[in-house]
Structure 1
């Protein structure tokens, strides 16, 4: 079973909610009789059993519903302020369906129309919809102006899906779209060199990472670098204090020895990403944290377990180009990372590439590609789901510790 989430942003690039994607995978990489009813039941059941806080925190869940599932009471297990019901584009509309939608709305649920391609004025579910989703691959912005205008005039919330570039995001925002879904937020907008502030931040952390990559790293040198930056020193002491319980940490050097070199490298990387991400959507930081944990977990459960530390750093630095708005080879310049990481992030090859491919497929909901890579890695797909949920939880807890 696969369950993944894709963020949905408002026009300030704050997360409004997550669309939840589901697939029960099998060796044939086909649905093999799994109906949309069973798929939705899997998502709703998973949410109910795991708890919303495990998957969507305090945000809203967008879940696909077909006609069969809409007619059942299972959806009412989830609170109306947490669930947005996405009605699939291929549902057959009849009087019973309309009455059911009216009842759900009376209970407080919001209704979204998925992949809207109908004539706005003719489609019978438009009057009951709170949110209308336009798939910009199926219906490009230049073709939907009249429908967008009518939706806005009717006070509908309109959502642009499959937004893959910042240019498309800005154009959709100018047209009046309220919500946005796609991977544009995790791609660099390369318009020149990054700001001096972020470049300086990268150099500062690069000094630490370079020291850590020496054959015999010096705790004293690491402490001296950190002590030159009161903000970095504070963050590191805060992290160590949260882990040391009642032990009192009297110095930066003592804090470093308490953590150990491998853990220092992990946290220096996380603190670097946090600082570089300060001018970017918070979800980019969340994505980096999820990937670092997810990649490490995948490696532990495969024949790549000896590379789990490198896999963790691979996930963490996988969005560095987007944070710095630079090509990846420039973003990683002067940072001493193992060749196994740079081979993947810069040259798209190497021993850790299957982990990167699997994570990307999972995030995009490409379950066929994810299944194939699981087979290649000899990875149990049930374990993969558990690893993903744990990575989501860990990322959320880590962000709270760093706030």
Structure 2
């Protein structure tokens, strides 16, 4: 089973929920009308069997439903406190459907109208709907002003979909939208004529330079860490959590317990966390999921097996431009990393780049592209769904510790 998820943000750019996009196997097409019932059953079964918390955590799960899937009893597998029912725009509205939606609404399920193009005043489902989604490409903001005002008057929650830039996010929020979906959060905000100011990452640069020596020194690393009490404290804290005994012998002991490989990964994550101040938490979560997913892909790809750590780092840094509000070329300028990583991120080429492209295809539920890249890499795409779920779980554990 393949389940991709796309974040839905509130007005403060905190994640409110995830829309779940899915298919049953590597031979299925993307979500479409002919397979909607079976696909919805698959994702609801997955939510129930895998556990909703492992897919969306404590957030809401937005799932698309057509007429037949709305009539099925599979909806009740998922608790109404988690599931938001998205009624597809082409659903035929009849008395039977209205009775079912009214019943679901009374059970506590929240109902969203997907890709809404109808009249707020006339469309029969509006009275039982809680959320109304507008696709900003199909229905630009300047064409729906009156409808938006009427929806707000009726106390509906408005969700702007396909928000691709910060400017669109701000405009939609100003108009009255409360929820936002799209890739605006993962793109840099670059103002013409100005360059983003890079945060001070001197401590991390010194640590990484030591780690890249032929024979890195635990003592040398400890001495570098002693110059920054914040980073040193975080290291001791994370090592203490993983060991029953307190760290009594100082920073060098903490480093030895962690090991150089895990320490380098931890340094990269801490650096990204410091760089992502005032950015949505989902940005670093995306980088972590991509990092683990890329590592799992590389470990199972013959040509990249020995380069899994490079692939992981490439995916981890794939949103660095958005974190710094710089072009990717500017963001990469001062980092001591391999030319293949830089080529993948800046030029979108080279031997490592297909793994990043694979991760992005999965996030966007572009199943056709996913299969094409997986085939190119010599990977059985049936395994990708499991790796993606493993990556989500891993990122959640990391986020708890940082």
Q: TM-score, normalized by length of structure 1?
A: 0.95
Whether the 8 Å contact between 1:4 and 1:362 is mirrored in structure 2 is yes
Aligned partner of 1:10 in structure 2 is 10
Deviates more, 1:249-258 or 1:34-43: 249-258
Provide, for residues 157-195 of structure 1, a one-character-per-residue CA deviation record: whole Å limited to 9, x for no partner.
000000011010000011010000011111110133334
Extract structure 1 runs of 4+ deviating beyond 4 A.
Answer: 27-34
SS, match of residue 44 in structure 1: helix
Structure 2 vs 1, CA of residues 193 and 257 (structure 1 numbering), >3 Å: closer, same or farther? farther
Q: C-alpha offsets along residues 116-153 of structure 1, whole Å, 9 cap, x if unaligned?
A: 11222222111111000001111111111111111111
2:236–2:247 CA contact under 8 A, matched in 1 = no
Contact 2:30–2:366 (CA<8 Å) still a contact in 1? no
How many residues are treated as equivalent by the alignment?
399
2:141 corresponding residue in structure 1: 141
- Matching residue of 1:383: 383
1:16–1:59 CA contact under 8 A, matched in 2: yes
d(CA) in 2 for partners of 1:347 and 1:288?
19
Q: 2:22, 2:30 within 8 Å by CA — same for their partners in 1? A: no
- The residue that corresponds to 1:179 in the other structure is 179
User: For the residues of structure 2 that align with 1:103 and 1:42, how far apart are their CA atoms?
Assistant: 23
Q: Does 1:281 align with 2:280?
A: yes
User: In 2, distance between residues paired with 1:254 and 1:11?
Assistant: 44
Counterparts in 2 of 1:360-399, with a 5 A limit?
Answer: 360-399=360-399
Structure-1 residue corresponding to 2:165: 165
Alpha-carbon distance between aligned partners in 2 of 1:131 and 1:249, rounded to the nearest angstrom: 54
Q: Is the 8 A contact 2:22 2:31 kept in 1?
A: no
Measure the CA separation in 1 of the matches of 2:210 and 2:365. Answer: 39
Per the alignment, residue 55 of structure 1 pairs with 55
C-alpha displacement of 1:211? 2.3
In the alignment, what sits opposite 2:195?
Answer: 193
| Distance change >3 Å, CA 166–CA 222, structure 1 → 2 | same
Which is further off, 222-231 or 248-257? 248-257
1:46-104, Cα deviation, whole Å (9 max, x unpaired): 10010011111111100001110111111011111100000001111100000100000
Counterpart residue number, 1:226: 225
Please, what TM-score do these two structures have when normalized by structure 2?
0.95
1:119 aligns with 2:136: no
The match for 1:242 is 241
Q: Where in structure 1 are there 5+ consecutive unaligned residues?
A: none
Question: Any conservation in 1 of the 2:26–2:381 contact (CA below 8 Å)?
Answer: no
